[in-house]
Amino acid sequence: MKVLLVEDDESIAEPLVDGLARYGIVADHVTTGAAALAAAPTDMVLLDAAVRDADGIERLCHSGDTPLIVLTARGERATHGADEYLPKPVSVPDLVARMKSVSRRRRAVPVTTCGPLSIDTRTHEVRVHRIPVSLSPKEYDLLTLLAQDPGAVVSRRHLLESVWGPAFPGPGKTLDFHVASLRRKLGDPGWIENRRGVGFRLAIPA
């Protein structure tokens, strides 16, 4: 695998490049978002959230062309739409595990089904009983995360960190608001079950 590391701190970048090399991963290193956009295509981008001119990389992420993992410290701005977030300081084995997980998800069949619900991750189309459902970006991200393992309970913390980013400063009811909206748009509150004090799971309504 060949990846692009966007990191403006050499003391962080050099150990990461060397550590990834031990796993057979070639990492090209650049220090700015502009340099990243000008670089040759790679299998994945690793972005330090502290890089100031990262907006172009966010657009690349939203286009869906290249998987993106964001390395972020507490208090840093989240990069919306990333495939995965990893808190700093970064453990190379943990980073490699996350990279493999993202690669597996990207190679997965583009259409996920759960009973009459279908999600096309290539076109971002959601249908229930073959009828299109219009979702906001956050509602779509929330649904696709729950649909990765239908029936499994996903913790509130994981949902918030994955959909809104680990540094999200929003109110505690943000997740509940989006779940309620998603239930309404899917046409039945039974689609998303609440496990009080734990999280939510995707289920086929009775």
For residue 85, the tally of other CB atoms under 10 A from its CB is: 20
Output DSSP code: residue 80: T
**Under 8 Å between Cβ of 4 and 21:** no
* CATH code of domain 2-107: 3.40.50.2300
Structure confidence at residue 6 as a pLDDT band (50, 70, 90):
very high
Q: 27 exposed, middle or buried (CB, 10 Å; 0-12, 13-18, 19+)?
A: buried
Task: Specify the higher pLDDT residue, 118 or 197.
Answer: 118
- Its sign, for the CA torsion 171, 197, 166, 181, is negative
Instruction: For the chain, give every residue range classified as CATH 1.10.10.10.
Output: 111-202
Whether residue 54 is predicted with pLDDT greater than 80 in this model: the reply is no
Task: Specify the higher pLDDT residue, 96 or 41.
Answer: 96
* Cis peptide bond upstream of 89, omega within 30: yes
Reference 50, options 35, 68, 33; nearest CA is 33
User: Torsion angle of alpha carbons 41, 45, 49, 54, nearest 10°?
Assistant: 20
Residues β-bridged to residue 133: 126
**Could you give the angle at which helices 156-163 and 174-186 cross, rounded to 10 degrees?**
90
Task: Specify the higher pLDDT residue, 168 or 184.
Answer: 184
Residue 27: the pLDDT is 96
Reference 67, options 16, 36, 106, 96; nearest CA is 106
Mean pLDDT (the chain) is: 86
Residue 134: the pLDDT is 95
Residue 157: the pLDDT is 86
Contacts of 132 (CB under 8 A, 6+ apart): 125, 126
Number of H helices, E strands in the chain: 7, 12
In terms of average pLDDT, the best of 60-69, 107-116, 131-140 is 131-140
Instruction: For the chain, give every residue range classified as CATH 3.40.50.2300.
Output: 2-107
Structure confidence at residue 76 as a pLDDT band (50, 70, 90):
low
Domain 111-202 bears CATH identifier 1.10.260.40:
no
Residue % of the chain over a pLDDT of 90: 48
**Under 8 Å between Cβ of 63 and 38:** no
Whether residue 75 is predicted with pLDDT greater than 70 in this model: the reply is no
Residue 16: the pLDDT is 96
